[in-house]
């Protein structure tokens, strides 16, 4: 197989990459700077050996303990529970949260074969028992699986002496009422706030 075809075959396996995009990208890489190609190739080839889950919260890190868990300036009375490691970055980059994180590793999805046993609920309970948290914010996705997972966490933690909260659902900022789906509108009505 020619080198270009091999590169295109590999690129086509990336999510959202069709045949035309892979072709365009491969010709871009042939025209671009060689040192960039080497840096990108090296970064892709070695990402999995550099990155591992933080043993405390489960988010991706290069260090023994992740930057969030080891940062003494973060509020250790707040715990935000998310589904995936990338959700940590989304919430951290909103710059509205300064507490700790807990990554479940997914959401309960019986049809998809994900039961509570495959998620990090025991670690969550242990952290709540051993830590000094006063509030646990459930930041699972506003989907059926995320809702089920949130209910399960409420069931697990309801006897502990902590406040349980969930991220607000409603209209996205910059959105348009005309484009909002019925469920989002109904949630934003139920969750309406006094101004």
Site for a second copy, rule CB under 8 A: 2-4, 6-7, 10-11, 13-16, 21, 23-30, 34, 36-51, 60-62, 67, 84-86, 89
Structure tokens at 59: 């988010």
CB closer to a second copy out of 60 and 97: 60
| H helices present in 51-180, as ranges | 85-93, 121-130, 144-157
Question: What's the min distance (Å) between Cβ of 119 and a second copy?
Answer: 16
- Cα distance between residue 167 and residue 148, in whole Å: 14
CB closer to a second copy out of 4 and 185: 4
88 neighbors 98 (Cβ within 8 angstroms): no
Both ends of the chain: CA-CA distance in Å? 65
CB closer to a second copy out of 45 and 177: 45
Question: What's the min distance (Å) between Cβ of 42 and a second copy?
Answer: 6
106 neighbors 114 (Cβ within 8 angstroms): yes
71 neighbors 88 (Cβ within 8 angstroms): no
CB closer to a second copy out of 62 and 130: 62
Question: What's the min distance (Å) between Cβ of 12 and a second copy?
Answer: 11
Question: What's the min distance (Å) between Cβ of 41 and a second copy?
Answer: 3
Please tell me what DSSP assigns to residue 57. T
Question: What's the min distance (Å) between Cβ of 114 and a second copy?
Answer: 15
- Cα distance between residue 20 and residue 29, in whole Å: 14
* 163-166 β-sheet, strand order: 99-103, 75-82, 135-138, 163-166
CB closer to a second copy out of 1 and 177: 1
């Amino acid at each position: 197989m020619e080198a270009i075809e091999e590169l295109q075959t590999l690129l086509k396996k990336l999510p959202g990459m069709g045949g035309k995009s892979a072709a365009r990208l491969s010709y871009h890489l042939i025209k671009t700077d060689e040192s960039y190609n080497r840096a990108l190739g090296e970064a892709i080839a070695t990402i999995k050996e550099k990155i591992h889950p933080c043993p405390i919260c489960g988010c991706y890190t290069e260090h023994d303990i992740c930057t969030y868990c080891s940062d003494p300036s973060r509020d250790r009375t707040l715990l935000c529970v998310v589904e995936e490691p990338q959700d940590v970055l989304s919430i951290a980059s909103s710059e509205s949260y300064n507490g700790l994180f807990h990554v479940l590793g997914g959401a309960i999805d019986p049809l998809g074969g994900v039961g509570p046993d495959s998620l990090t609920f025991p670690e969550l309970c242990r952290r709540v028992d051993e830590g000094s948290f006063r509030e646990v914010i459930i930041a699972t996705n506003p989907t059926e699986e995320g809702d089920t997972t949130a209910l399960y966490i409420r069931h697990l933690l309801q006897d502990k002496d902590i406040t349980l909260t969930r991220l607000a659902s409603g209209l996205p900022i910059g959105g348009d009422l005309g484009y909002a789906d019925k469920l989002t509108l109904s949630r934003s009505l139920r969750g309406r706030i006094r101004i």
